Amino acid sequence: MEIQNMKNVEKMKDLMITTVSHEFNTPLNGIIMLLDAMILEKKIPQAIINQYIKPAKNCSDILSNLISDFIDYTKLNLDQLNLSFEEFNVTKLVKENLFFLKFIAKMRNIKILVETESENLIINSDA
């Protein structure tokens, strides 16, 4: 009986994580759409877009990916996870994440340098 109770608690936890993740995703998607619109807006100076809006967009994308990871985790526990492999540019991902880190580093007078052997390091990975 105790094992069944533990399984039920685990399922309830997974359901809660999935529900909360979906609730976070809804307003976050709205924020991402607004930031995308601001990036395309011609009236906003490019310096403002580069210094504030793009870093906010990158942070929002990172948070969106984290929320997706929570949903994937619960699907994995429920044996409902479907993986979809496709080509993925690792160098591009590193550079996108460094954009945000450089923003923080600049505020702290730290300089980050990146050297890569290839601009297109491609792997197959779940998106």
pLDDT at 27: 93
Contact yes or no for 52/104 (Cβ under 8 A): no
The yes-or-no verdict on residue 57 having pLDDT over 90 is yes
CB 4 within 8 A of CB 60: no
Of the candidates 124, 43, 54, which has an alpha carbon nearest to the alpha carbon of residue 95? 54
pLDDT digits (tens, 9 = 90+) for 71-102: 888 888 777 778 888 888 888 878 777 877 77
Beta bridge partners of 29: none
Distance CA 37, CA 56 (A): 13
Question: pTM value?
Answer: 0.65
Domain boundaries, the chain: 1-82, 84-127
